């Protein structure tokens, strides 16, 4: 099964209260299979973006996906995961390694940069989690 995973992470302040949003859709017909947001506590924006990626990959695995196409508005995460940028920040390196390990569990993986206007659902979930200071939707795989 191939899925499209839309991810977002954000922090209010840097660092500050942070959250992530994940939307998993069937790649073929766009049917939403999973939506969730999670509150992270205090984190940087880049950590939140990576935690969103991890949550999205874990959600896709839990749904039984074999191929995943990730869509993110974080140029940093997309470029690091695609090998264009090295991961120099020591705080991001363990998150990057975890993401690489999860990616290996799929038969196919792509990561794509999209504009914020195309990532509104995941952004909304991340903001709802930050507002609630708690998880929203099906946030069970964090």
Q: Is residue 62 part of a domain?
A: yes
Q: 3-state SS of 79-142?
A: HHHCCCCCCCCCCCHHHHHHHHHHHCCCCEEEEEECCHHHCHHHHHHHHHHHHHCCCEECCCCC
Range of the domain at 132: 2-137
pTM: 0.96
Please report, for the domain that includes residue 100, its CATH number: 3.30.420.10
Total length of the chain? 142
The C-alpha angle 58, 25, 93, rounded to 5 degrees, equals 35
pLDDT digits (tens, 9 = 90+) for 11-62: 999 999 999 999 999 999 999 999 999 999 999 999 999 999 999 999 999 9
What order do you get walking across the sheet with 108-113 strand by strand? 108-113, 67-72, 2-11, 16-26, 32-43, 136-137
- The pLDDT-based confidence of 137 (bands split at 50, 70, 90) is confident
Say if 142 falls within a structural domain: no
Model pLDDT, residue 138: 75
Task: Check residue 142 and give its pLDDT.
Answer: 46
User: Does 46 fall in a domain?
Assistant: yes
């Amino acid at each position: 099964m191939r899925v499209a995973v839309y991810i977002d992470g954000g922090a209010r302040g840097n660092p500050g209260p942070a959250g992530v949003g994940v939307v998993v859709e069937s790649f073929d017909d766009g049917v939403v299979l999973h939506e969730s947001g999670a509150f992270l506590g205090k984190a940087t924006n880049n950590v939140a973006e990576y935690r969103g990626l991890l949550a999205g990959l874990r959600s896709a695995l839990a749904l039984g996906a074999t191929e995943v196409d990730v869509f993110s508005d974080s140029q940093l995460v997309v470029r690091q995961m695609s090998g264009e940028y090295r991961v120099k920040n020591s705080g991001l390196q363990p998150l990057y390694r975890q993401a690489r390990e999860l990616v290996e569990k799929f038969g196919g993986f792509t990561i794509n940069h999209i504009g914020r206007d195309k990532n509104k659902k995941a952004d909304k979930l991340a903001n709802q989690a930050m507002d609630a200071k708690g998880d929203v939707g099906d946030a069970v795989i964090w």
